[in-house]
Each structure stands twice: as C-alpha cells, then as structure tokens.
Amino acid sequence: MEFLQYFGGVFEPLSFALLLVGTVGGLILGATPGLSPTMAVALLIPFTFHLEPEQGLILLGAAYTSTVAGGAVSAILLKIPGAPANIATTLDGHTMAKQGKGARALQLSFLASGVGGVLGVLLLIFLTPVLAQWALVFGPSHLFWLAILGVTIIGTLDTGSVVKGLLSGCIGLWLSTIGFDDILGAERFVFHSALGGGINIIAALIGLFAIPQVISMLARGRRTDDIEVIAVEKSSIFDAARELFGNLRAMSLGTTVGVIVGLIPGIGGQIAGLVAYDQAKKFSDTPEKFGKGHPEGVIAAESANNAMVGPSLVPLLTLSIPGSPTAAVLLGGLLIHGIFPGTDLFENHPKVAWTFINSMLIGQVLMVVFGLWVAGFAARVAQVPKFVMAAIILGLAVFGAYSVQNSMGDVYVMAALGVAMYFLERYGFSAAPLVLGLILGPIAEANFAQGALIAKATDGIVPYFFTGGLNIILIALVLLSIGFSVVMELRSRRMAQQRSAAA
Amino acid sequence: MTKTQNTIVAAAVAAIGAWVCYLSYTQEPAQAFLFPRVISTAFVILAALALAQTALGREQAVEGVTMREASRFLPGLVVLFIYVFWAANTLGFYTATAACCFVMLSLYDPAPHDQVMTWLRRALITAGFVAVMYGLFAEVLKVYTPREIFF
C-alpha cells in the first residue's frame, strides 16, 4: 500500500492544475479526428522540460488517458472516431445520438471509461511493484533480449507485414546508434553537424508522429468536410449510472478484455474496443440490438479502451517495454528526466512513480466529470478544418522540437524523419516499431556492450547471450512473437486470396 | 504502377541497409561498431527479404502515394521545407511561423480568394496562432528562439 503515501503529491496546486489541464486538453484533443493520442502526448513533451519529473508525467499521463476517452465524443456526435481506439464506439454510439440519445451515449461512454480506467490503474498499482522486483534478477544479457523483445513484439503486431515491421524496428535501432559511441567516443554515422549529438528522442518522436499527420491532412487538398454535429438533449446522469450498472455484464467483459489486451505489449486500444464489442455482443441477451444504438455496445467498447491504458504501462514501468506507441512516447518523457523504468524507478524515485500512477487514478474521475462538461465544446473543436489543424500542428512541432535543446539541428532531424516516415508509412512501414527501436536502442546497446565485456571474462559471447533459463525464455518469446505474426499474416493472405477467388 | 512504387521504396530501403552495413563493417574502431554490425546485418537481411517479397509479388502491394495526393500535398511540403530549412533560421522563428501559417492557410483554404473577409480570416487565425505560440514558448517556457532578420 506504498502508493497511499504519495496521494498528497497529486493534490499539490501545480500538480493538480497540470492534471486538470492535461485532462481537459486531452479530452478536446482526443475528440479532434486526426490528432492521435500518441501525437498529442509527443507534442506535449516539450512542455514538461521545466517541470519536476512527476509533474511532467502527470501532464502526459492525464493527456494519454483523456485523449482515449475524448475520442468517443467525435465517435458519438460526428460518427468519426477521434482515435482508432474509439472505432467500436461509433457503431452504437452514433446511432444512439441519431435517435436523440446523444447525451445518454456520452454519459455512458465517460462513465464506462471511468470505471474501466480505474480498474486498469488499480491493476497497474498492484502488479507493477511485484514485477519491478522481479526485474531485479535481470542481467545485461536479459535486458538486451528484453529490448529486442520490445521491438519485435511491436514490430510484428503493429503492422500488416511482419518483415516491414521488423525492418522498421531495425531502422529505429540503427538511428539510435547515430552520434558518438558512449564508451570509446568514436563518431558513428554522423553525416551532418545536426547529427553530432545523435538523434534526440523527443524531436524524433514529434517528427515521426506529427509530420505524417500534417502531410496526410494536406493530401486532402482544398476541401472542407461537411460534418454535422448532432445536438444533445439534457439527460440525468443518475439514470445513466443506473443504466451502466444495469449492464454489468457488458462492462465487466469490456474491462476484462481491456486489461488483458493492455498487458500484452503492442496490441493497443483499437483491438481492445473491437474485441470487447464482439464479446459483449456474443454474450448479450439481445445481440440483435447491437449496431442499432444499443447501450451495451458503447459500454463494452469504452470500458475496454480505457481499461487498457493502465495495464499498457505495466510492461513499461517494470521492464522498459512500452505496451503501446503512446507508452513508448511516455518512456521518452521519463528518459529525458534521467529516470529509467524498473527497479530504479520504484527504489530511487518512488515519489515520481507513485505520484504519476496515483494521478492517473484521480485523472479517471476528473475525466468523467469534465468529459460530460466539455463534450459539446470538444465536438465543436473537432470541426476545425484540417488545413488549419495542419498549420497549427506544424508550428507546434517546429517549436516543440527546437525547445528540446534550443537547437535548429533537432528541428531539421524532426522534419526529415517526419517526411521520410510519411512515405514509409504509405508503403507499409510503421512508426511504432521504429520509435521503439530508437528508444530501446541505447538500452540494448549498453547492455550488449556490458554483456560482451562480461562474456569476454567468462565463457564467451555465445554461452553468455544464448544459454541460461531466462535467456532461453526471452529468445523463445522473441521467436514466438515473430512466428505467431508470420502465421497470422500467411493466414490472412490466404483468406484474402480465397475471397478474391470467390469474387 | 503500385507494385513498381512499392519495389522502388523497398529497393531504396535495401540500398540504405546495404550502405549502413558497409559502413558498420569498414569503420574503425571496430569495437565501437560492434552493435551497429549486429543491427545492420539484421537490417540488410530484412530489407532484402522485403525487396524480394515486393518484387516477386509475394506481398500485397499497398496503395502508396497517388499522383493526385502528391499534387495536393506537394505545395504544402515545399512550404514546410522552406519554413524549416531556411526561413526559421534566416527570417526569425516567429516571422517564419507567421508566414508559413498564412501561406499554408491561403494554399489550402477552399474559401474564394477574391473576398476580403477570407484574407482577413486567414490573417486573424495566423495572428492568433503566433500570439499563442509566443505566449507559450517565449513567456511561459522561456525558450529563446532565433530572432535573425526580423523576429
């Protein structure tokens, strides 16, 4: 119950103000289609430099939580999911809104998000210290394999093509080696003076997540979307709460699916929402109502996508393996403050760790309260034309990248990586494994170098890295993640061929 | 066309992989390039695999960038490059941001260009945005951006 000692930190005036700003800002950003939670968190990182680590993390954590929930506003009122995690919400949420039950759909969505989110964070609270202690047994070879596992899991699960996913991870790992070698001080792959200090993770994150979005918005050309915002009538929150708890099966299914999906690195909220929706439909007494404005659909989808937020941070905070692209960005936010996840975080920086985790718990409550309050406004913000959003995001990206180290070099790197990523994404590559490679690369290399030194003094590199129970388990997991994804890819290709043959 | 585009991109990535691999194995001190050698070897193998899959049609070719899309985003991309690689460091950060924002809005706003209100709205959005950026970065975060010729 160590976390209880640090609850006071959340209520310090600046920390609480940041929690409020992050929650309300995240709800509005989340409701804006095209602004993904990952990009929102990446653009916020520069604002955390001048803050204490726990305060910076409170802001980022609040934004992460509420952007996922905020996406439901546009899913319900505009039929445009604010983020991929809200796709399943659109199915019944928008139909409810069209039936004049928009307010009820929003209330159910935020209440279900809050309940799912709180349970997810509770799991984070109780599971993380146990796993962090377990991480103590990890030596350099294990940490090396863990870093590789992080890249392969996201590389194989986050993309349509296993080879391209792993290749993206490799590109990220290579980018992380640019600059000066830490041990010998040798220059590596420095082709321009801007790369002398290596690639700054924050500038890279901003570029990789923001610039492709900007170009995608510009690719729509000179047109505006005629988006109709459905007006909402007033509705009793108490009736909504009664309806929510009257649908306990959908809520518990959604929360359970969200928690499980969150714990598995690389899967993400989109899958959580859709799987929960599907399961809720299967177990429902009235499956025929799904898709026609059934509250159970909204409850299952929204409890799932917020329940996965807390657990997605478990592998991050214990083993440095981010469970989602947004968690990878949060890892970047931790590293800039010189804090490493795992035992270091819980033993040397307990205030940072627990204040952050506790803030996510309080943030869920604030999200429910403010979510209902700002939903109407957020839906209006979601109507801001794409070309205006593009200009604003570009400006924020340039200022954010520059402010990392007051260096134009970071701005060049941000823009170059972002433009390259746009084209790579359009040809089947993915930003998430690339970012993971970039973030985990230094951890992998430091442990590889340390392991190589130990290996030289003992049995040699091959026995050191490839024998021992834990090494073998981790290598098996790496191979399993690749093998599983290859099988899934082959199966989906075969199914696509059968479909096209049948057509 | 789609397959050709996919093949060209896969070939470009493979070429970068081969070049990284070559540098990793030829640069000194070798100790400093130990990790890059491991990574670049995996890089080049995967890149070759991706190229083979694409060229042999073993992978579903993704749509890629269409000419229509390219013609739409190209003007914006040119503005982005001028802003980042020249204007910000020559004219000054805030001037360049204002100019970039205004040009971007003018290029992509579907409203008719011959109305005064359209230009006024674009100017107001630009002014508001730059004012917010100044408040956030110069006043709150105390970030000293390049002032150069203007501001």
pLDDT tens for residues A170-219? Answer: 999 999 999 888 777 888 988 888 888 889 888 898 899 889 989 998 99
Residues 96-115 of B with CB under 8 A from A: 97, 100-101, 104-105, 107-110
Chain A contact present for B95, CB below 8 A: no
Adjacent-strand bridge partners of A188: A179
Among A181, A222, A448, select the one facing B110 at the smallest CB separation.
A222
Chain B contact present for A107, CB below 8 A: no
Chain B contact present for A350, CB below 8 A: no
For residues A96 and A90, give the distance between their C-alpha atoms in angstroms, rounded to a whole number: 10
Residue pair A465/A455 in contact by the 8 Å Cβ criterion: yes
- Phi and psi of A161, rounded to 5°? -120, 125
For residues A332 and A334, give the distance between their C-alpha atoms in angstroms, rounded to a whole number: 5
In angstroms, how far is CA A419 from the centroid of its own chain? Answer: 22
Please determine, for residue A133, whether its predicted confidence score (pLDDT) is greater than 80: no
Please determine, for residue A54, whether its predicted confidence score (pLDDT) is greater than 90: no
Chain B contact present for A264, CB below 8 A: no
Please report, rounded to a whole number, the percentage of residues in chain A having pLDDT higher than 70: 95
Chain A contact present for B94, CB below 8 A: no
Residue pair A333/A31 in contact by the 8 Å Cβ criterion: no
pLDDT bin (cut points 50, 70, 90) of residue A269 is low
Question: What pLDDT does A413 receive?
Answer: 93
Give chain A's mean pLDDT: 84
This prediction's pTM:
0.82
Residue pair A362/A19 in contact by the 8 Å Cβ criterion: yes
pLDDT in tens, B89-146: 899 899 999 999 999 999 998 888 888 999 999 999 999 999 999 988 888 778 888 8
Chain A contact present for B85, CB below 8 A: yes
Chain B contact present for A7, CB below 8 A: no
Residue pair B3/B54 in contact by the 8 Å Cβ criterion: yes
Contact at CB, A387 and B142, closer than 8 angstroms? no
Please determine, for residue B75, whether its predicted confidence score (pLDDT) is greater than 90: yes
Residues 6+ apart with CB under 8 A from B18: B44, B47
Residue A116 identity: G
Distance in Å, alpha carbon of B80 to nearest chain A alpha carbon:
8
Please determine, for residue A227, whether its predicted confidence score (pLDDT) is greater than 70: no
If you average pLDDT over residues A457-479, what whole number do you get? 86
Give chain B's mean pLDDT: 89
Among A189, A214, A399, select the one facing B137 at the smallest CB separation.
A399
pLDDT bin (cut points 50, 70, 90) of residue A335 is confident
Question: What pLDDT does B94 receive?
Answer: 92
Higher pLDDT, A453 or A344: A453
The conformation of residue A268, written as its DSSP 8-state character, comes to -
Among B32, B39, B72, select the one facing A186 at the smallest CB separation.
B32
For residues A25 and A59, give the distance between their C-alpha atoms in angstroms, rounded to a whole number: 10
For residues B60 and A359, give the distance between their C-alpha atoms in angstroms, rounded to a whole number: 44
Chain A residues close to B47, C-beta within 8 Å: 167
Question: What pLDDT does A159 receive?
Answer: 65
Adjacent-strand bridge partners of A187: A180
